[in-house]
């Protein structure tokens, strides 16, 4: 029979995968001689069994549970279910990855109508006994049976109100007995049967409930957010109860070995409550007190509480229970020294004696993580390599973007939520078109651009906006990708929003929001608020630079950026980018003075007319490239030639069509017909990318001339040696690339001859079609570099539209078909296999071929680990994800030594 249940003394910190984080921590503390209530852990393998066997606990595991329970009875000298002196236990979840508050806990399990009477007599404390029973009924009904907490909260609050009480601790034993009766009546009314009285049945049902909580909506969302695999499962910890609610020499609390917000460790940080159980500390019913005297005094000053009032009503643990405080301080120091990291600990004090219920590496802000890592290096506790691995790469977003003022946030109505498409916080007046947004910005207004979905022609309005909100689109929609590139806050795919552009309003959360009204967006959570919430600028400290410098020493992958403007490029260089891996040229054509020339080129019906229109665009295009080259100071710049279908540039309104017709000497009808003819049923797979240059080689000629002339001129004017990398998009066949490459090289060589220049340049392609990955050996014969465009490669491999997948992916998550958005985290099994095949094939043909990634996955830490493993040379990501990529690349290199 496979072992599924482990006593704490049988485990250790290295058994995290089997025992979960909490179980491994309890086992390690037990081995260290730290006071831990006795208990046992039901392994994560038992959770897997539970789901594989139709959500049942098999007989073998059940037998092991009751054998362990019998052992626990012997150790504690009490019987489970005894009517006079019952053994009571807690049942807690514990996944291998910390998931605070995501899963469920039941305390005081084992009580029933008869044993609570004996328990009251044995302890000589009826109030405590009945308080423990009412808590158990409340938690069991909620966690195990799925009843709403409100049924019980209303009874409890009603009794307190009737008696004139402020706190639960004022309830008498008689009050609690009445509450218990009402609780049981509600339970019977809602469940159709009496509250369960058999402790063994209570235990098995509680264990099942903890296993079920692994699959509850909040746990599933948390796992997707933090890349925690569903198959890991959770362990369950069954532990003999210790009681913080027996009286004023008892208490419970949470503490940290260093401040989780700042990383400071001048004094002992944490909170506790006297005469309470664990859930009271986080429930907010009573004001928690501080652990240390210094912390308590600072807390009181911040709230205008006098020293006399503090000592009377809010004394620190150090003052109220000095012996317990000393014991807790010793444990804190021992655990931090043992784990060599900041610890988050839970404890209970029963009759003055300290018991530890949990220790784990504490969650912390990015600011705190940097401070703690650097301090531990300075204290010679960890090495710089370990310090780099202690920082969660995604958390660096907190340091690079503004956040909301937390006090103001608490008082601002929340009205809805979309996808957290681009981090940061923004507040401003709502505008519904790019033109109106730009005009409002020029008047000095802070603007939130609200669109059903954005398109390239919205670029000026997006640039003017503090934040962007869209009804449609996913994490890699146009709005999301462009916003991340700009470092602009964006919430996308808010499907609950009812959009009325004509009426200049949208409805969400029962509220109509009109043009000019203020809203606030949190791009890190996707939350939308009604009103103008002040923001606080992000701060970058010396610790940030120190960690980044260490990371740069350890990483192998180069980090480039996706940037289309000098401002984007400048931001990226400031944050450590080593080149541009993707400069999209299409956005450059949407400015007012350029779009007319672009439209004339598209609608011209002869090569000569197109070339004439394009010649007028060369100075603009060349100016764009020169500005970017100057910012990059000779670092590599990969320029993607025109990619989107031409219809995206065409006029949309009758007024625009009329103006264009007049400028071209054509009728409205002729221009309208040509615009209609260029529309495509499936433009994503239509006349775009390299196909444009094959049909209209004059486009590639114009862009090549602009690229090469700009590089030559910047060399002459600024002394920077520019080696442009020209990237041909959407290639699926060697002959396609050969045809476009021939045009590029002919023009480049012609310009070099005209300018008497020996400038070097490279021609390569994006691998974004599955066929291109499979034919990579042939394509490599024409390409000096590959850049994997993982956005389109994912889209074409899955057959998903990245703008529409948000409508059904939630059902895929719910059905456990997918665990994560493949546009946010690379599908390593499918898309990743194509990348690996392409890399291996290409290197057989061209050993020095340069391989990189320029899709959104280039800034995703889990994807970066894969790119490092398969030997790519660089990743390219949006400017504000560059530090994240630098850190993730270093961690990948360290972990794959």
Quick one: DSSP state of residue 683? G
Q: How far apart are CA 267 and CA 270, in angstroms?
A: 10
Quick one: DSSP state of residue 487? T
What are the backbone dihedrals phi and psi of residue 148, each rounded to the nearest 5 degrees, phi first? Answer: -70, 140
Q: Looking at 250, 490, 583, 854, which residue is catalytic?
A: 854
**First-to-last C-alpha distance (Å) of the chain:** 38
Among candidate residues 760, 767, 765, 818, the one with its CA nearest the CA of residue 788: 767
Q: Find the angle CA(654)-CA(655)-CA(656) to the nearest 5 degrees.
A: 90
Tell me whether strands 419-422 and 489-492 are parallel, antiparallel or unpaired.
antiparallel
Q: Tell me the angle at which helices 654-664 and 592-603 cross, rounded to the nearest 10 degrees.
A: 70
- Name the H helices within 719-852: 734-755, 770-774, 776-779, 790-798, 809-814, 831-845
Q: How far apart are CA 523 and CA 583, in angstroms?
A: 24
Q: How far apart are CA 26 and CA 9, in angstroms?
A: 9
Q: Are 752 and 758 in contact (CB under 8 A)?
A: yes
Q: Has 441 been annotated as catalytic?
A: no
Among candidate residues 173, 180, 195, the one with its CA nearest the CA of residue 134: 180
Tracing tokens 């043992």 back to the chain, one arrives at: 338
Q: Are 790 and 853 in contact (CB under 8 A)?
A: yes
Q: How far apart are CA 546 and CA 565, in angstroms?
A: 28
Radius of gyration of the chain (CA): 32
Q: How far apart are CA 18 and CA 43, in angstroms?
A: 5
For residue 127 the two structure tokens come to 């109030």
What's the gap between Cα 67 and its chain centre? Answer: 42
What is the helix (H) or strand (E) element at residue 299, kind and residue range?
helix 293-302
**Strand ranges across the sheet with 505-508:** 498-500, 505-508, 511-514
Which class for 269: exposed (0-12), middle (13-18), buried (19 or more C-beta within 10 A)? buried
Q: How far apart are CA 413 and CA 735, in angstroms?
A: 58
For residue 381 the two structure tokens come to 């506790």
Q: How far apart are CA 256 and CA 264, in angstroms?
A: 11
Q: Has 675 been annotated as catalytic?
A: no
Q: How far apart are CA 505 and CA 616, in angstroms?
A: 40
SS3 866: helix
Q: Looking at 478, 647, 850, 857, which residue is catalytic?
A: 478
Q: How far apart are CA 887 and CA 304, in angstroms?
A: 42
Question: Dihedral of CA 100/101/104/105: which sign?
Answer: positive
What are the backbone dihedrals phi and psi of residue 832, each rounded to the nearest 5 degrees, phi first? Answer: -60, -40
DSSP structure string for 353-376: EEEEEEEEEPP--HHHHHHHHHHH
Among candidate residues 853, 809, 872, 798, the one with its CA nearest the CA of residue 831: 798
Among candidate residues 448, 418, 443, the one with its CA nearest the CA of residue 433: 448
Tracing tokens 């609050």 back to the chain, one arrives at: 157
Quick one: DSSP state of residue 728? E
Among candidate residues 698, 606, 602, 593, the one with its CA nearest the CA of residue 650: 602
Quick one: DSSP state of residue 144? I
Q: Which residues are catalytic?
A: 478, 854
């Amino acid at each position: 029979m496979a072992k599924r249940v482990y006593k704490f003394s049988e485990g250790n910190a290295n058994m995290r995968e089997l025992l979960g984080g909490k179980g491994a921590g309890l086992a390690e503390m037990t081995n260290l001689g730290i006071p831990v209530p006795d208990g046992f852990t039901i392994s994560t393998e038992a959770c897997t069994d539970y789901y594989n066997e139709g959500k049942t606990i098999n007989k073998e595991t059940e037998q092991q549970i009751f054998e362990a329970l019998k052992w626990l009875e012997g150790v504690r000298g009490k019987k489970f279910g005894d009517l006079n002196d019952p053994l009571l236990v807690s049942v807690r979840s514990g996944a291998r990855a910390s998931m605070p508050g995501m899963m469920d806990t039941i305390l005081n399990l084992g009580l029933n109508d008869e044993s609570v009477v004996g328990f009251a007599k044995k302890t000589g404390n009826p109030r405590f006994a009945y308080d423990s029973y009412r808590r158990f009924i409340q938690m069991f009904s909620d966690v195990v049976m799925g009843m709403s907490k409100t049924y019980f909260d209303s009874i409890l609050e009603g009794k307190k109100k009737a008696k004139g009480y402020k706190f639960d601790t004022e309830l008498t034993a008689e009050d609690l007995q009445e509450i218990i009766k009402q609780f049981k009546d509600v339970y019977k009314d809602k469940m159709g049967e009496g509250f369960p009285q058999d402790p063994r049945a209570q235990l098995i049902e509680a264990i099942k409930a903890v296993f079920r909580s692994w699959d509850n909506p909040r746990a599933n969302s948390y796992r997707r957010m933090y890349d925690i695999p569903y198959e890991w499962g959770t362990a369950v910890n069954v532990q003999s109860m210790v009681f913080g609610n027996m009286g004023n020499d008892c208490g419970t609390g949470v503490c940290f070995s260093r401040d989780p917000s700042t990383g400071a460790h001048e004094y002992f940080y944490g909170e506790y409550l006297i005469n309470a159980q664990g859930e009271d500390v986080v429930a907010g019913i009573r004001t928690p007190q501080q652990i240390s005297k210094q912390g308590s005094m600072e807390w009181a000053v911040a709230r205008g509480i006098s020293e006399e009032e503090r000592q009377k009503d809010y004394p620190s643990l150090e003052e109220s229970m000095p012996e317990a405080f000393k014991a807790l301080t010793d444990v804190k120091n021992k655990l931090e020294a043992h784990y060599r990291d900041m610890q988050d600990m839970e404890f209970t004090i029963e009759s003055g004696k300290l018991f530890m219920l949990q220790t784990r590496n504490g969650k912390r802000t990015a600011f705190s993580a940097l401070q703690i890592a650097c301090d531990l290096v300075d204290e010679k506790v960890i090495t710089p390599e370990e310090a780099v691995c202690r920082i969660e790469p995604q958390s660096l977003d907190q340091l690079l973007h503004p956040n909301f003022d937390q006090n103001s946030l608490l008082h601002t109505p929340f009205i809805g939520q979309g996808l957290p498409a681009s981090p940061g916080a923004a507040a401003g007046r709502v505008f519904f078109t790019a033109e109106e947004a730009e005009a409002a910005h020029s008047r000095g207004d802070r603007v939130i651009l609200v669109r059903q979905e954005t398109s390239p022609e919205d670029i000026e309005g997006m640039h003017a906006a503090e934040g962007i909100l869209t009804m449609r689109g996913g994490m890699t929609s146009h709005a999301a990708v462009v916003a991340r590139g700009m470092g602009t806050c964006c919430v996308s795919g808010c499907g609950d929003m009812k959009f009325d552009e004509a009426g200049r309003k949208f409805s969400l959360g029962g509220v109509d929001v009109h043009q000019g009204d203020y809203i606030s967006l949190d791009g890190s959570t996707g939350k939308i608020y009604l009103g103008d919430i002040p923001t606080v600028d992000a701060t970058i400290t010396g610790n940030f630079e120190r960690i980044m410098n260490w990371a740069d020493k350890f990483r192998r992958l180069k980090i480039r950026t996706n940037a289309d403007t000098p401002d984007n490029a400048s931001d990226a260089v400031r944050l450590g980018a080593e080149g541009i891996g993707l400069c999209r040229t299409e956005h450059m054509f949407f400015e007012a003075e350029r779009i007319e020339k672009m439209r004339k080129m598209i609608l011209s019906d002869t090569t000569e007319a197109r070339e004439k229109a394009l010649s007028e665009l060369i100075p603009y295009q060349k100016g764009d490239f020169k500005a970017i080259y100057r910012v990059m100071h000779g670092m590599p710049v990969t320029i993607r030639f025109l990619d989107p279908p031409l219809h995206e540039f065409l006029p949309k309104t009758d007024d625009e069509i009329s103006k264009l017709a007049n400028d071209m000497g054509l009728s409205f009808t002729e221009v309208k017909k040509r615009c209609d003819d260029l529309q495509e049923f499936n433009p994503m797979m239509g006349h775009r990318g390299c196909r444009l240059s094959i049909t209209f080689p004059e486009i590639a000629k114009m862009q090549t001339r602009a690229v090469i002339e700009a590089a030559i001129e910047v060399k002459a004017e600024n002394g920077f040696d520019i080696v442009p990398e020209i990237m041909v998009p959407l290639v699926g066949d060697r002959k396609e690339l050969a045809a476009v490459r021939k045009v590029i090289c002919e023009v480049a060589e012609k310009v070099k001859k005209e300018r008497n220049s020996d400038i070097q340049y490279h021609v390569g392609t994006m691998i974004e079609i599955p066929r291109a990955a499979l034919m990579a050996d042939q394509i490599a014969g024409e390409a000096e570099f590959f850049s994997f465009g993982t956005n389109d490669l994912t889209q074409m491999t899955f057959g998903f539209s990245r703008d529409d997948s948000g409508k059904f992916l939630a059902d895929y998550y719910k059905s456990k078909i997918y665990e994560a958005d493949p546009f946010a985290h690379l599908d390593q099994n499918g898309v990743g296999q194509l990348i690996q095949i392409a890399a291996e094939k290409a290197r057989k043909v061209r050993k020095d071929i340069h391989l990189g990634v320029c899709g959104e996955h280039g800034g995703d830490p889990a994807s970066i680990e894969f790119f490092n493993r398969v030997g790519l040379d660089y990743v390219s990501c949006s400017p504000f994800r560059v530090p994240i990529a630098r850190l993730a690349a270093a961690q990948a290199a360290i972990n794959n030594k």
